[in-house]
Structure 1
């Protein structure tokens, strides 16, 4: 099935979780936040939150600044 991650289309297997998608695309497991279709997905839900056809995933990286 097709999903969008940070504006780019990707193909993933049916039943892929948020955690699985992040791992597949080499996203670090720490220092990021994830939104699925505009709603934040808590880190402890990544394994059990499955993606659907045309899901939109935004991965945000924490950046320190001053």
Structure 2
């Protein structure tokens, strides 16, 4: 199935959770990220259970330091 992550298209298996999607998008799991699917934040504790659907709009936000 095709999903959109930060306005880029990715192909994932038909059964894919947030954790699996992150493994496809990133070579190594980054720290300090948040995931929103269809404009709703998905808590990190739910990543292994939350199933991604076709045409979901996914936004990954990475925390940065600075002032």
TM range (shorter): over 0.9
Aligned residues: 66
Q: Which runs of 4+ in 1 moved over 6 A?
A: none
Structure 2, unpaired ranges of 5+? none
Q: TM-score, normalised by structure 1?
A: 0.93
Structure 1, unpaired ranges of 5+? none
Q: TM-score, normalised by structure 2?
A: 0.91
Alignment of 1:1-66 (within 5 A): 1-26=1-26, 28-66=29-67
RMSD over aligned CA atoms reads: 1.1
